[in-house]
Structure 1
């Protein structure tokens, strides 16, 4: 049995991303949980000042729980590359941010994939191309209680990018045991083996088993 407080019937998903809300809502639907996004509630996005995925997931979950006075779930995820000492890691999205002088403000994931590949190429043709996606799910309650669950998907990096079904670094990530990138896999198959699915399975076991 879970030693954590019950989630109740309503859970705030600490995101302003409609796609992420849809994905997490679908995962929680079988458990009778109604999900509402922080964006729909008009909650501000806190600064993600942590140095680990756990730090940032908790920052987001705690801010939403306190503001809404409801349990809140947040996730933080990213790509780590063995040969780059685990980078980009918690700074995964930052590697895709264009600077003001580069024009077209916003995230450019092809540029980010190119940065990773460029740093690998500097180490020569025999560089270790192993990598992993991490996902931390954090749930926080208004009284300060919290719990985190971490999932991983191991794989290797391909080049050039392949596939159009994913997002972020998906076109260069080939999950272990497959020969297609995350962006080439059917979305249902990707979600079944992804780092988020791994973390969510641990959450379900702890809170709903």
Structure 2
């Protein structure tokens, strides 16, 4: 059984579209380290969740990357949403000539085993991630490799529109509609998480 670490059952439903019924939700509060890299954050979470559950685990980390703002809010998207908010983020981007942005998602998979070579990267630097988490999280246990799968969708920041979705969905427009204007099926069909899941599902089927 593959355990998807999330408190959001909607993510599990989306994963089931790609992986079938062999995935279940694991509500586990892993340590979310501070890093400018989505993969480092997700990999640290996947290792910790695997050590907790003792089963193959999948952790994701995602963010909104605004080109004119040097990638902000990026991995700090959740914090930015909670502090400055969606409207203020739009106001920052509105002053820019270039409003290009992308939603990115990295899925991190850990099952305690090594991985054969493939185009998708493997994170093996457990020491760096542990150090970022703080001395209380560091230990001498064997390093666990983590396989990473990235998905992204490009778009443009616009004035908030739509009542659906969550987070920065109302200000992210893709091919004429914001994510908040799409229903769940429409959004999942083109989402950054869906694209990462599609890569993972293809690889996992041969695992």
Taking structure 2 as the reference length, the TM-score comes to: 0.78
Q: 1:114 maps to what in 2?
A: 87
Q: 1:152 maps to what in 2?
A: 152
The answer (yes or no) to whether the contact 2:4–2:23 under 8 Å persists in 1 is: no
Within a 5 Å distance, the mapping from 1:57-72 to structure 2 comes to 57-72=42-57
1:138-158 deviation line (CA, Å, top 9, x unaligned): 101235232000000000011
Describe the shift of the 1:44–1:155 C-alpha distance in structure 2 as closer, same or farther (beyond 3 A).
Answer: closer
Q: 1:105 maps to what in 2?
A: none
Q: Structure 1 segments of 4 or more deviating over 3 A? A: none
Q: 2:98 maps to what in 1?
A: 128
Describe the shift of the 1:49–1:15 C-alpha distance in structure 2 as closer, same or farther (beyond 3 A).
Answer: same
Matched, 1:78 2:63: yes
Give, in angstroms, the shift of residue 35 of structure 1. 1.4
Give, in angstroms, the shift of residue 26 of structure 1. 4.2
Q: 2:9 maps to what in 1?
A: 18
Q: 2:162 maps to what in 1?
A: 163
The gaps in structure 1 that reach 5 residues or longer are 1-9, 99-110
Give SS of 1:35's match: strand
Supply the distance in 1 between the matched residues of 2:198 and 2:30 (Cα, whole angstroms). Answer: 26
Query: What is the total number of aligned residue pairs between the two structures?
Result: 176
Give SS of 1:67's match: helix
Matched, 1:138 2:115: no
The answer (yes or no) to whether the contact 2:18–2:201 under 8 Å persists in 1 is: no
Describe the shift of the 1:129–1:44 C-alpha distance in structure 2 as closer, same or farther (beyond 3 A).
Answer: closer
Give, in angstroms, the shift of residue 186 of structure 1. 2.3
* Of 187, 191, 197, the match for 2:188: 191
Supply the distance in 2 between the matched residues of 1:18 and 1:45 (Cα, whole angstroms). Answer: 17
The gaps in structure 2 that reach 5 residues or longer are 114-143
